[in-house]
Amino acid sequence: MNERKDSDVSTDPFPTSGDERRLDLDVELERDTEGVWTPSSLPSHDEVPPHIGFWKRFRRNKVALVAAIYLVLLVLAAVFAKQLVPQNPNVQNLLQVNAKPSGAHWFGQDDLGRDVFARIIYGARISLEASFLAVALALVVALPLGLVAGFVGGWVDQVLMRISDAIQVIPALVLALVISGILGPSTTNVGLALAIVFAPGFVRLVRGQVIGVREETYIEASRSIGAKPLFIIRKRVLHNVASPLIVQAAVTFGFALLAEASLSFLGLGVQAPDASWGTMLSRAFAQVYEAGWLLWIPGGAIAITVLAFNLIGDGLRDALGTETRGA
Amino acid sequence: MLTFIIRRIAALVPLLLIVSVIVFGLIVLVPGDASTTLAGGDQATPARILQVRHQLGLDRSFLSQYGRWAGHAIHLDFGRSLYSNQTITSEIWQRFPITLQIAGGALFFGLLIGVPLGIISGIRPRSVADRAVVFGTSAAIAMPSFWLALILILNFAVYRQILPSRGFVNFSDSPYEWFRHLLLPWIALGVLTAATIARQLRGALADVMASDHIRTSRSKGLAPLKVVGKHGLKNASAPVLTVVGLQVAYLVGGTVIVESIFGIAGLGSYVLTAVTRDDLPAIQGSVMFIALLTIIVNLLVDVSYALLNPKVRVE
């Protein structure tokens, strides 16, 4: 999924972009001499294509950059947990219960003497896995549905939108809780449940973008020279959908992480003895009178990571120059 | 206006129908044979399985099951829970007022904090006060509300024993204790609402304050407070209203986790209990009830939106 989006951004979606840059010059000239051009009269695709200088613009946003570096490190730590963390996250040491942080145990030890640092890193793995599954699955389902709803319109669009409405009428956490609870507690089921919860938002976003560009002149032009609908979608529409979708996906990732933590806090995610940040919080809460400080570590990890996703979302929004439509 | 309301209500009929199909359709997610799983899985006695099958009508076709369920649900009759002898509806009605007090209080808290903050930062964007508000609300939005609940308990019930850590007291029994027990849940849920409202109001107010008619009313010598109150806030209130509507769904969802943390027997903890014991009729009933609640709130938001902005009525 990610691969597809990346390639959409990096390959040139405008074979005519050379012309457009020339057009940009014309715009400048006319504005200088006659002052008749206003920015709003420019079609949206006359803006610099988002991938040009994307990295340059993203890098300028120092906060988003720090957030991105943090997330890359977190993902690496989660993937290479076995190599990085010498302690086994599930090995108990009942002689050192609720021990405060020390040189040997950076984040201390929990109520069963397990190393909290190791559990945070291994927990990151589960929390990120479930969130990734949720976002990826939601995208896979929502992208074609949104394209169809936007392109075909008519009753297909109506039906899809009413179903989205109906799903969104149920509060997200309640729906996720109910679905994952019925399916049975597991990380995969939490991911599945969250995918169902997030899909309508993505469908709406894609549909909105498609409707926005459907009537643009360049689409009409493609159609008039006999381009097939699938070709138009692939070469013309997906590019317009990609940027806001990437932004939305980053922000949704943060929501997914938060929801996963909430569900596993309630006992519906990963099962003991494996750690996720939510289950660590609920265990720490059970010990609140003995070792309240244990609450800070998994809670802080959740908050910082959710914040990082939001900041990256902001950074991407600025760097890609998109305003999300529809959702 | 009346035709607007009638049209809006009419549009809800298909929506409710689809919601009910989705909610009832949750049964297809039950792993394995539904009546065995719902009767308790491996430990279920054959008699109990038969009883569950009969109670839910699982021996019939999906369509006739749905028809029977929906026919009762129209009258807000969701049948009986698999675990208690009370009807689900009566259990919901017992618990709903408690959840209403939690969510309503949190919304009140959100408005109480969020509106002044939004005004302070919206009147003068990029001022010191504005920057402080933007920073504070960003932090508040990233803070998971259930973690906030735990931290509040740690600080106010464990380290300093000022407030109770769990439980609920009826207002009629003791208003003081009622307030003490609900204060932490309100704050835990309401901080995010406050931050969201402040953000939205800030954006809307900043836009309005930069517009021409504000400049006109300033230049004609209208008192600054009146400029903000009469022209600024009135125009900025519509977007805020939308956010308030969206917040209600968040607050109802949030009560699930907050009620479980604070040990309060409201609607949220009812859903959680139903989920943990695979009590499908109770799940379906409570989710349908919550969906209905959100729909009604959305309708109210739509109507008040139309009252504020006559253009909406025509569209």
First to last CA, chain A: 20
Interface of A with B (CB under 8 A): 162-163, 165-167, 169-175, 177-179, 181-184, 258, 261-262, 265-268, 281, 284-285, 288-289, 292, 295-296, 299, 302-304, 306-307, 310
pLDDT band at A321 (very low <50, low <70, confident <90, very high): low
**pLDDT, position A52:** 60
Q: Do B22 and A288 touch (CB under 8 A)?
A: no
The B residues from 115 to 144 touching A (CB cutoff 8 Å) are 138-139, 141-144
**pLDDT, position A146:** 92
pLDDT above 80: residue A100: no
**pLDDT, position B314:** 62
Residue type, A325: R
Q: Of A177, A261, A303, which is closest to B272 when you measure between CB atoms?
A: A177
Plot region of B79 (φ>0 → left; ψ -120 to 50 → alpha; else → beta):
left
Residue with tokens 């950059």: A65
Domains of chain B and any CATH numbers: 12-73 (no CATH), 92-314 (1.10.3720.10)
DSSP A84-127: H--S-TT---TTSTTPPP-SSSTT-B-TT--BHHHHHHHHHHHH
How would you class A146 by CB atoms within 10 Å of its CB: exposed for 0-12, middle for 13-18, buried for 19 or more?
A: buried
pLDDT above 90: residue B78: no
Q: What are A128-153's pLDDT values in tens digits?
A: 999 999 999 999 999 999 998 988 88
Please report the beta strands in B104-188, taking only residues with DSSP state E, as ranges in sequence order.
Answer: none
Higher pLDDT, B26 or A327: B26
Record the pTM: 0.83
What sign has the CA pseudo-torsion A298, A302, A307, A309? positive
Share of chain B above pLDDT 90, in %: 32
Reading the block at residue A50, the tokens are: 């988002």
Q: What are B138-191's pLDDT values in tens digits?
A: 888 888 888 999 999 999 988 888 888 888 888 888 899 999 999 999 999 999
Q: Do B261 and A179 touch (CB under 8 A)?
A: no
pLDDT above 50: residue A64: yes
CB < 8 Å to B271, chain A: 174, 177-178
Residue-averaged pLDDT of chain B: 86
Phi, psi angle pair for A272, to nearest 5°: -55, 150
Q: Do A262 and B144 touch (CB under 8 A)?
A: yes
- The distance of A266 to chain B (nearest Cα, Å) reads 7
**8 Å CB contact between B131 and B212:** no
Beta bridge partners of A115: A109
Mutate to test the interface with B, among A131, A165, A177, A189 (most CBs of B within 10 A): A177
- The distance of B279 to chain A (nearest Cα, Å) reads 9
* Boundaries of every domain in chain A: 1-46, 54-320
Compute and round to an integer the Cα radius of gyration of chain A: 24
B32 touches chain A (CB under 8 A): no
pLDDT band at A160 (very low <50, low <70, confident <90, very high): very high
Cα A215 from Cα B24, distance rounded (Å) = 39
Share of chain B above pLDDT 70, in %: 99
The predicted complex's ipTM stands at 0.89
Q: Please provide the CATH number assigned to the domain covering A54-320.
A: 1.10.3720.10
Q: How many CA atoms lie within 13 A of B63 on its CB side?
A: 0
CB < 8 Å to A288, chain B: 150, 153-154, 158, 165
